[in-house]
Amino acid sequence: MVKILVASKNKGKLKEIKEILGDLPITLIPLPESAEEVVENGSTYLENALMKAKTYGQKYKIITLADDSGLEIDILNGLPGIFSSRYLGKDTPFLTKMENILELMKNKDNRKARFRCVSVLYFPKEDRYVSFEGVVEGEILKEIRYGNAGFGYDPIFKPDGFDKSFSELGSEIKNKISHRAQALQKVREYILQNLMGGDMIEIKVNGKRLPANKYVYSVFEKVIFALLDTLKDLPEIETVEIKIDKKKEEETTE
């Protein structure tokens, strides 16, 4: 089974990553608490994400997933941007940071903003990486609106098409539309297409995806299909879908 180190100690970020990638046949390993923090002094999200992924990947000799993200506010010339986590000082509470931003934007009509995230998968054996970006457009609210999910600046950001803050929307919706969700969905597709052996079976029960690797489960294939056939007859099961994607063979030339 593929093991991937998640280069973050941020509990909110770890929760989102596990919710989006946790059902894959991979093992997500949290960063050890003893790991020294990487100084994020890059000039772009990619540089910061790669610094973390490469540092920890080489140290622990394992495929490493890292990201960097930020809130970009048009009227503030893109700030806090790549400095989002360190805005007003790294140890400054996010409540203070949000209050400061709302004060700076007081009486401002242009409240357009976006969250941007760049995720990096680093492969230490080959010393190479792949990167993926996600962006969600929205606006800054005029007040802090806490909900049951999210972290950081989520309580003051309202994504386009919704009337609630990221925090109020809850993790189920946020993990479908957020900047990190978009980047991680691309990471997910890369893992499925490049790191999984054999074909892929994608199973959906009541619309919820339960993917499994056919190579891993090939011995139990008949059992799986028999079980799913039985599930269809249960009253609480409305739909069962099965999709098999054949892994393309690599082309070779003489």
Helix (H) or strand (E) holding 49: helix 45-60
Would you say 180 is a known binding-site residue? yes
Would you say 174 is a known binding-site residue? yes
Terminal C-alpha separation, the chain: 33
Would you say 68 is a known binding-site residue? yes
125-136: b or e for each residue (b if 16 or more CB lie within 10 Å)?
A: eeeebebbbbeb
Q: 71 and 113 in contact (C-beta within 8 Å)?
A: yes
What is the CB-side half-sphere exposure of residue 234 using CA atoms within 13 A?
11
What residue type is 106 in one-letter code?
A: K
Quickly count: other Cβ atoms within 10 Å of residue 198's Cβ. Answer: 13
Among residues 68, 160, 233, 245, the one annotated as catalytic is 68
Would you say 8 is a known binding-site residue? yes
Would you say 69 is a known binding-site residue? yes
Would you say 158 is a known binding-site residue? no
Q: Is the dihedral of CA 41, 42, 48, 53 positive or negative?
A: negative
Active site residue 233: no
Cα–Cα distance list, 35 to 17, 31, 55, 125 (Å): 19, 7, 10, 20
Would you say 10 is a known binding-site residue? yes
Would you say 9 is a known binding-site residue? yes
Would you say 151 is a known binding-site residue? yes
Q: Comparing C-alpha atoms, which of 153, 149, 16, 133 is closest to residue 76?
A: 153
Would you say 248 is a known binding-site residue? no
Would you say 152 is a known binding-site residue? yes
Q: Please give the annotated binding residues for Mg(2+), written as ranges.
A: 68
Q: Please give the annotated binding residues, written as ranges.
A: 8-13, 68-69, 151-154, 174, 179-180
| Residues with catalytic function | 68
Q: Please give the annotated binding residues for substrate, written as ranges.
A: 8-13, 69, 151-154, 174, 179-180
